[in-house]
Amino acid sequence: MKIVSVILARSGSKGIPNKNIIDINGKPLISYVIEASLKSQSQETWVSTNCKKIKKVALSYGAQVLDRPDIISGDLSKSEEALIHFSDNIDFDILVFIQPTSPLLVSSDLDTGIDLLINKSNTLDSVFSVYKEHWTPKWDNKLRPINWDKKNRPMRQERDYEYVENGAFYITKKENFIKTKLRYSGNIGIVEMPNYRSFQVDSEDDLKLIRKIL
């Protein structure tokens, strides 16, 4: 059984220029997830990119690189398009899709997901990372309560917690991905990560926070 990781890292980020290789405490952002993957059970760590700078950084940290066509690397391109391209070119049985914006990810998170999928291969087809969120009152953009009543505000302990997809990683069997073209499908399991390690780097405020945490 061949387990392979892929990190999708295109150029052209609008919110933070060169986000995937921006400096985070002396190291490029993408290096954190490359190192986590290399220390995990994944047998190969790949970066799929259309950017020469990202390619150079990825190779310097020990990843292999698959050149991604620009046509599937635009602002409106979906991750699944790059994953399809990857599966058409690289041999694997289990795919570990890691997002480069999760620098607090560690190898044990990935190994927990890999073990879960392998050990429950008869009952699970995909696994993804989450964090647990306890109920707090939320309002929509017109300042209307979402699924609660102002006249009968519930207490936190009266509501069940929810699992929130944190975007760090997704693991799936190749046969399922080829069939569905989805990062998760069939019977799905989860790996719970602590909230404090579930931050994604998507804005300047995220950058400031991550630099203080790491």
Q: What DSSP letter does each residue of the chain carry, written as one string?
A: --EEEEEE--S--SSSTTGGG-EETTEEHHHHHHHHHHTSS-SEEEEEES-HHHHHHHHHTT-EEEEPPGGGSSTT--HHHHHHHHHHHS--SEEEEE-TT-TT--HHHHHHHHHHHHHTTTT-SEEEEEEEE-----B-TTS-BSSS-GGGPPPGGGS--EEEEEEEEEEEEHHHHHHH-SSS-SSEEEEE--GGG-----SHHHHHHHHHH-
| Known active-site residue 153 | yes
User: Which residue in 10, 68, 144, 153 is the catalytic one?
Assistant: 153
Active site amino acids:
153
